[in-house]
Amino acid sequence: MPRPVTVAYRVSPTPAEVAQAAARLFASAAIAAVEKRGRARIAISGGTTPKAMFALLADPAQPFARQVPWQKLDLYWVDERCVPPTDPDSNYRMTNEALLSKVSLPQDQVHRMEGELDPAVAAARYESVIRNSFRLEGAETPTFDLILLGMGDDGHTASLFPHTEALSDLTDIVTANHVPQKDTWRITLTWPVINQGREVAFLIEGAAKAQVLHDVFLGQYQPDTYPSQIIRPASGKLTLLLDAAAAAKLPPAAVPDNTGTLELK
């Protein structure tokens, strides 16, 4: 049975304002983690919305570049395409161009997935990176301070695609996932690890996502068909940062703060 969770969603009028909300979340999570535990560990995704967020985090005209404790932040990826880091499709390349090349985050605190390697080797190496950097022992699971996710038109998140083998992986931290519908391999955190995050948030925008967003959070529970449904954090809380177009088929958010909640049983 899925675990109960409260979904809090904030609706912004435009994608640019979603990126602003995401940048605020990134900065506040990093600051809080450093204050409480001396270090922040954040896992990020690729895509259009994170790219806009990264640009804001790196912009010297914005407050975030000064607020984020870069020297005490470890950055990880939720998933990666099986391409070299210089490839235009690389999540790492996008992040490097939009953010890493412009802020004072030490290179040894940037933990990229090695998409240029054999997928199984890359997954095993990344699991070792996580185990070493979190200083995990035995079967311990890492707890990221913040995990930022996207959602595809088909309801996938991370590289957990509908009806793929990674949905059945309950033991690994990282896995190589064959995606037949795209005729490719991906490297991804497993869903139990994502659900262990202290704070987990989806960044979703665009009218093309309105129906799948409705189906994931208001429809029948079918995680093999809609893998995003399997994201139910152990904290009991899940955050959605949405633009108005993506939120069109959810219950109207409350005015004036444009927030709403859903209780998933």
The pLDDT of residue 2: 85
What's the number of domains the chain is made of? Answer: 1
The pLDDT of residue 211: 98
Distance CA 5, CA 221 (A): 13
**142: domain CATH number?**
3.40.50.1360
Q: What is the mean pLDDT of the chain?
A: 96
The range of the structural domain enclosing residue 30 comes to 5-264
- For the four alpha carbons of 14, 15, 16 and 18, in that order, the dihedral sign comes to positive
pTM: 0.97
- Report the Cα 198 to chain-centroid distance in Å: 12
pLDDT digit string, tens, across residues 7-41: 999 999 999 999 999 999 999 999 999 999 999 99
pLDDT at 43 over 80: yes
- For the four alpha carbons of 206, 89, 174 and 127, in that order, the dihedral sign comes to negative
